Structure 1
Amino acid sequence: MPVKEYATKVAKVTAVFWVMKIISTTFGEVAGDAVTKSSLGNLVGTLVLAAVYIAVAAAQIGAKRFHPLLYWAVIAAGTTVGTAMADYPHRVLGWPYWATSSGFLLLTLASLFLWRQATGSVAVSTVASPRTEAFYWVTILLSQTLGTALGDFASNTGLGDDGAAWLFAAALAVLAALYFFTSISRLALFWAAFILSRPLGATLGDLLIHPASRGGLGLDMAWTAVSLGAVLLAFVLLVPRRIQGPAEAEPQQGAEDRSEDEDPQLQAV
């Protein structure tokens, strides 16, 4: 019996994907702060952003095919609510940055573990059913939140926003070198890069909006968020569809029997 093929509704992992990912994370950092530092406050602002994320993620999961605008709306919403979720324990509950980073690291690892146990793989090429896509978006949200916490932790340990940005940029460069020059698990490298691209965007966002006394440019949060959102939208609308996606699907039957390092999307980066 032939194996049934399914179409994914997630983006291809290409160089353009990573550029758009960093733009979206920078947007999320600024937009998240703009909302939670507004009259809404931390709790209401976080709940509003969470509701937006759930709504667009549900629309994405329910869609019949890949829509770049919808996909990147979920990514942007995830980075925005991730900022609020990472900030809430520190700002409101008084948790130290190392505690929030550790907590969200454990949650992200738990999500990946449960996803792997339930479906047999955490590879992008297997995100081809509502169930798997739900795991994907939960893990994305937690990894975005973890990335925000890591960025705040690094920025507040003496590095400052600029030093932390250089740190995470260097870490991503190391991951790129490992991808091109070693045979280390492509899947592990993908998720490591996905997580670490978030604090890079977060620290870049903070550099834009923090006052000069903190080494930033002191730009207005609302206008900066709008500008970054416009840049991301321009990428979504102008980058050819064949480059953006959808990702090539792995056959669902027998997916567990194949090595995750053979994910065609990670091999094509």
Structure 2
Amino acid sequence: MAKNPTYSIAKVKSISDNMHQAQRVLTKVPEITIFFWITKVLTTGMGEVFSDYLVNHINPIIAVALGGIGLVGSLVLQFSVRRYVAWIYWLVVVMVSIFGTMAADVVHIVLGIPYIASTTFFTVVLAAIFITWYAYEKTLSIHSIFTIRRESFYWITVLGTFALGTAAGDMTASTMHLGYFSSGLLFAVMLAIPALGYWLFRKNEIIAFWFAYIMTRPVGASFSDWISVSHTRGGLGLGEGPVSLCLTIVIVILVGYLTVTRRDVNVEPVVSDVQ
């Protein structure tokens, strides 16, 4: 008995749809909502001031080592799960923020490289990461993070964005003498450009996302520095420790809310396999 070609085509399409749905369910990153951007900015601010707190209150070498250990440990957790888990994902982001700040500071303070040079260096490094990622995967979309290699590219890219954002924020605040508050406003305006371009004119979603992702780093870091540093440095003088603690509490509450409500999880159901 001859097979019905229409049925065969429909079955193949159904299997393809099932694979696509399964990939979306297993995606290791959150949906991009307002909660994502709020949490991202908070983690960048927390990572900036807590990194400074560690370096200023314990041996800098030990501080960097602890930051590296924390980053590796959080990444092991992230790669060990098969789906997005809010508290694990944001733990990695926090650790990347802390260690990325330390990496940028080491380049400037320890190696004596000017901020403009380190900003240029991290820009080139990040561009190379994007080019390599695209050459292997043919996409830079975060909605396609469901393989180990793509997830590896994703987190390497995230680390690069944090290092670049830190160097850029320090460059505008120190080298260009804008101060922390003015730097925060500058990068907030730059952050709004791709967002408006995407929402109003439907410009390239991937470019808009990664540009905004980079900009959130100096926005969060600049304002957290402004709140924490002394009056003589142009800040409010609340201190790195108290600001770190307050931001951590807010992040924990927000991530707890996302864990319970799953507002940042794609809830599209998986279609059953055709029998």
Same fold, TM-score > 0.5, yes or no: yes
Any conservation in 2 of the 1:13–1:247 contact (CA below 8 Å)?
no
Q: Does 1:28 align with 2:47?
A: yes
Q: Which amino acid aligns with 1:97?
A: Y
Deviations 1:74-110 (A, max 9, x none): 0111111111111111111111000111111111111
CA–CA separation in structure 1 for the residues paired with 2:223 and 2:74: 25
CA–CA separation in structure 1 for the residues paired with 2:239 and 2:217: 21
Q: Does 1:218 align with 2:237?
A: yes
Q: SS where residue 58 of structure 2 aligns?
A: coil
* Distance apart, 1:48 and its partner CA: 1.9
- Judge which range, 92-101 or 31-40, deviates more: 31-40
Q: Which amino acid aligns with 1:139?
A: T
Q: SS where residue 92 of structure 2 aligns?
A: helix
Q: Tell me the residue number matched to 1:46.
A: 64
Any conservation in 1 of the 2:43–2:94 contact (CA below 8 Å)?
yes
CA–CA separation in structure 2 for the residues paired with 1:31 and 1:191: 24
Could you tell me the TM-score, scaled by structure 2's length? 0.86
* Distance apart, 1:183 and its partner CA: 3.2
* Percentage identity across paired residues of the two chains: 29
CA–CA separation in structure 2 for the residues paired with 1:248 and 1:121: 22
Could you tell me the TM-score, scaled by structure 1's length? 0.88
Q: Tell me the residue number matched to 1:170.
A: 189
Which gives a bigger RCO, structure 1 or 2 (Cα 8 Å, sep 6+)? 1
* Distance apart, 1:184 and its partner CA: 2.0
Q: Does 1:134 align with 2:134?
A: no
Q: Which runs of 5+ in 1 are unaligned?
A: 250-269
Q: Which amino acid aligns with 1:51?
A: I
User: Is the alpha carbon distance of 1:30 and 1:248 closer, same or farther for their aligned partners in structure 2, counting shifts above 3 Å?
Assistant: farther
* Distance apart, 1:236 and its partner CA: 0.6
* Distance apart, 1:11 and its partner CA: 0.9
Q: Which amino acid aligns with 1:170?
A: V
* Distance apart, 1:120 and its partner CA: 1.6
Deviations 1:95-154 (A, max 9, x none): 100011111111111111111111121101110112211111111111111111110011
- Judge which range, 55-64 or 147-156, deviates more: 55-64
Q: Tell me the residue number matched to 2:247.
A: 228
Deviations 1:182-226 (A, max 9, x none): 232110010000000100011011112211012111122122212
Highest Rg: 1 or 2?
2
CA–CA separation in structure 1 for the residues paired with 2:254 and 2:267: 18
Q: Which amino acid aligns with 1:55?
A: G
Any conservation in 2 of the 1:89–1:100 contact (CA below 8 Å)?
yes
1:64-213 residue pairs with structure 2 within 5 A?
64-156=82-174, 157-213=176-232
Any conservation in 2 of the 1:82–1:145 contact (CA below 8 Å)?
yes
User: Is the alpha carbon distance of 1:136 and 1:192 closer, same or farther for their aligned partners in structure 2, counting shifts above 3 Å?
Assistant: same
User: Is the alpha carbon distance of 1:247 and 1:134 closer, same or farther for their aligned partners in structure 2, counting shifts above 3 Å?
Assistant: farther
CA–CA separation in structure 2 for the residues paired with 1:88 and 1:169: 26
User: Is the alpha carbon distance of 1:44 and 1:246 closer, same or farther for their aligned partners in structure 2, counting shifts above 3 Å?
Assistant: farther
Q: Tell me the residue number matched to 2:272.
A: none
Matched residues, number: 248
Q: SS where residue 243 of structure 1 aligns?
A: coil
* Distance apart, 1:65 and its partner CA: 2.2
CA–CA separation in structure 2 for the residues paired with 1:81 and 1:35: 11
Q: Does 1:55 align with 2:73?
A: yes
CA–CA separation in structure 2 for the residues paired with 1:233 and 1:248: 26
Any conservation in 1 of the 2:229–2:240 contact (CA below 8 Å)?
no
Any conservation in 2 of the 1:23–1:232 contact (CA below 8 Å)?
yes
Q: Which runs of 5+ in 2 are unaligned?
A: 1-11, 270-275
User: Is the alpha carbon distance of 1:242 and 1:115 closer, same or farther for their aligned partners in structure 2, counting shifts above 3 Å?
Assistant: same
